[in-house]
A = this chain, B = another copy of it.
Amino acid sequence: MNAGADLTLIRERKPLVHQITNYVVMNETANATLALGALPVMAHALQEVEEMATAASALVLNIGTLSDAWVESMVLAGLAANRAGVPVVLDPVGAGATTYRTETSRRLLAELRIAVVRGNSAEIATLAGRSAQIRGVEAVGEAGGPELAREAARELGAVVAVTGPVDHVSDGSTVHGVANGHELLGTVTGTGCMSTAITGCFLGVRGDDPLAAATEALVAFGVAGEDAAKKAKGPGSFHVALYDALYDLDPKKLDSRAKLS
């Protein structure tokens, strides 16, 4: 893992990160992507998703406000990304909250080769076949812990990142804990979706090592959250400071600030 070096690569190469995501956070994930140093593009039409995904360095699929036409686009884009060797990260927003979300997440996992799944403990537990409590898109109750990440990774055949007070990232054998972040992240909608978009940015330069990419992304996003919290008086000012902090992330200090376990 070398978060600083990969952040530098992102800023040099500006990987194009194609995002088919939910209406609530489109502006936010685009701005987080741009602030970090990569290039976001949103496109969901059946006529263009294959072309766009093929041209991209990473594809982000997020089911936060799904509907049938969008799911078809996600499948088409994902298949094109798979053919082109473009890594795919999935954010199964609200899996467990409704049957439709659970089944759509399972379908995407079945039909596509997913590099990383990033979700909260309830979403990941649902997909791993464990019992979970979710209210809307918010996990309720105990955090997942390293075992959830490891088991889900084995079950789903993908690197799994379970975010919470401490994040856990696993490829089914190794588990990285990331304790960076700040509780204000939970007061702004879409910060989970942003962390998925940032994972896409790191996958855009480290598609060969999704475990490293996902871990580095959570370190970078968590450190930015820590920096933003210092300037914040509440959710609104934190949200604004978060983009400034992503933009200001210092690659030279990133690895020394990582709180890994």
A232 to B120, CA, bound (A): 33
Inter-chain contact B97/A41, CB cutoff 8 Å: yes
Inter-chain contact B26/A42, CB cutoff 8 Å: no
Does chain B have a CB within 8 A of A261?
no
Chain B residue numbers with a CB within 8 Å of A165 are none
- Residues A99 and B48 in contact in the complex (CB < 8 Å), given A16-B135, A31-B189, A64-B42: yes
Inter-chain contact B136/A41, CB cutoff 8 Å: yes
A98 to B41, CA, bound (A): 12
Contact with B along A20-35 (1 / 0, CB 8 A): 0011111110110011
User: Within the complex, what minimum Cβ distance (angstroms) separates A146 from chain B?
Assistant: 27
Could you say which of B43, B47, B52, B240 contacts A240, with CB atoms under 8 Å apart?
A: B240
Inter-chain contact A51/B98, CB cutoff 8 Å: yes
A77 to B92, CA, bound (A): 22
Count the A residues whose beta carbon is within 8 Å of the partner chain — how many?
63
Inter-chain contact B244/A136, CB cutoff 8 Å: no
Chain B residue numbers with a CB within 8 Å of A188 are 31, 34
Does chain B have a CB within 8 A of A67?
yes
- Residues A244 and B237 in contact in the complex (CB < 8 Å), given A45-B100, A67-B45: yes
Give residues 37-53 of A contacting B (CB, 8 Å): 39-48, 51-52
Additional 20 contacts, C-beta under 8 A, given A55-B97, A237-B244 = A31-B236, A41-B97, A43-B65, A43-B94, A44-B65, A44-B67, A45-B66, A47-B100, A48-B98, A48-B100, A48-B101, A51-B98, A51-B99, A67-B69, A234-B243, A235-B247, A236-B243, A236-B247, A239-B243, A240-B240
